[in-house]
């Protein structure tokens, strides 16, 4: 699945880094707790979250996450988006709730990955 | 790389939005040095958790990173309140972080356990009222 596939499946808006929509995503992680995200390394993951602050971008950066999807129509502030742009991190926003967004991606083939 | 490379970072006291800048900078530098991406990920996750801890609990501090031919050593030193019970603090889920930090996505009691998980060796020296120094080593 590509970042663009996620955009289409979740009817999401691209908030930055549109040039990376063809990047491949293999696994997904849905959480509002960044400490939990940091506990499990996965390859080429999408992070689905309702948390909206710069630490989401930092966490994604440390984890080599491929893209971030903000649920419930959330849009981060300009500072957070600027950080995402600097780190070449595609950021999407969907009106879907966390449970729905995760369910749609799961039924379309994304897994949670293996625990490390 | 014949000689050890030393990098120093000052972590500011209460600016949570900037926490992670040092780890991000280290990641860029290690990438440029051609370090294995799997090693970089371990190093930066461990250091990022440490940085967050220093901001939440210890009014910031200083991080010294030493890169040798066979390992990366991160020393995180603060002058915070110290950790009263290190064994308890190492348990997954144990946290003393305030609610405002939880609302920012941290304080789940995974900081120190994650730091241990991602480093090959970790020591914690702490004294109440004096400060804490966490040393983590990741093999190259």
pLDDT at A42 exceeding the cut of 80: no
Q: Is residue B71 a contact partner of residue B140, using CB atoms and an 8 Å limit?
A: yes
CB pairs under 8 A between A and B: 69
Distance between A44 CA and the closest CA of chain B, angstroms: 13
| B53 inside 8 A of chain A by CB | no
Distance between B79 CA and the closest CA of chain A, angstroms: 23
CB contact under 8 A, A64 and B16: no
- Which parts of chain B register pLDDT below 50? none
Chain B residue with the nearest C-alpha to that of A32: B105
Q: Is residue B77 a contact partner of residue B131, using CB atoms and an 8 Å limit?
A: yes
* pLDDT on residue A111: 87
d(CA A80, CA A64): 17
- Structural element, H or E, at residue B77: strand B71-78
Fold of the CATH domain B5-139:
Heat Shock Protein 90 (3.30.565)
Q: Is residue A26 a contact partner of residue A10, using CB atoms and an 8 Å limit?
A: no
CB contact under 8 A, B37 and A64: yes
pLDDT digits (tens, 9 = 90+) for B42-70: 999 999 999 999 998 998 999 999 999 99
CB atoms within 10 A of CB B107: 22
Domain segments of chain B as ranges: 5-139
- Structural element, H or E, at residue B38: helix B37-57
d(CA A14, CA B78): 40
Section A56-60 average pLDDT? 96
The chain-wide mean pLDDT, for chain A, equals 94
**ipTM value of the model?**
0.87
> Helices (H), strands (E): how many in chain B?
5, 5
pLDDT at A43 exceeding the cut of 80: no
From chain A residues 56-115, the ones with a CB under 8 A of any chain B CB are 56, 58-59, 61-64, 79, 87
Confidence of residue A98 (pLDDT cuts 50, 70, 90): very high
d(CA B76, CA B10): 10
* pLDDT on residue A112: 85
Confidence of residue A116 (pLDDT cuts 50, 70, 90): very low
Q: Which of B92, B105, B114 to mutate to test the interface with A (most CBs of A within 10 A)?
A: B105
Terminal-to-terminal C-alpha distance of chain A:
22
**CATH code for residues A3-107:** 3.40.1390.20
* pLDDT on residue B117: 94
Identity of the residue in B105, B111, B117 whose CB atom sits nearest the CB atom of A51: B105
pLDDT at A115 exceeding the cut of 70: no
Domain segments of chain A as ranges: 3-107
């Amino acid at each position: 699945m590509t970042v663009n596939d996620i955009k289409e499946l979740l009817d999401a808006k691209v908030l930055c880094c549109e040039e990376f929509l063809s990047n491949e995503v293999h696994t997904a992680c849905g959480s509002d707790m960044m400490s939990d995200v940091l506990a499990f390394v996965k390859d080429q993951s999408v992070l689905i979250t309702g948390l909206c602050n710069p630490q989401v971008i930092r966490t994604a950066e440390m984890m080599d996450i491929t893209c971030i999807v903000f649920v419930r129509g959330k849009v981060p502030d300009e500072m957070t988006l600027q950080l995402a742009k600097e780190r070449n991190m595609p950021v999407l926003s969907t009106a879907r709730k966390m449970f729905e967004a995760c369910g749609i991606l799961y039924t379309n083939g994304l897994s949670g990955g293996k625990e490390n | 790389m014949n000689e050890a490379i030393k990098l120093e970072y000052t972590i500011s006291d209460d600016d949570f939005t900037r926490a992670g800048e040092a780890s991000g900078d280290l990641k860029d530098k290690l990438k440029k040095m051609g370090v294995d991406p799997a090693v970089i990920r371990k190093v930066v996750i461990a250091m990022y958790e440490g940085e967050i801890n220093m901001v939440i609990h210890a009014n910031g501090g200083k991080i010294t990173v030493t890169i040798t031919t066979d390992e990366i050593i991160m020393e995180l030193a603060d002058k915070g309140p110290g950790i009263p019970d290190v064994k308890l603090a190492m348990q997954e889920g144990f946290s003393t972080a305030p609610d405002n930090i939880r609302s920012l996505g941290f304080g789940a009691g995974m900081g120190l356990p994650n730091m241990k998980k991602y480093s090959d060796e970790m020591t914690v020296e702490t004294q109440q009222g004096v400060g804490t120094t966490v040393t983590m080593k990741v093999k190259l």
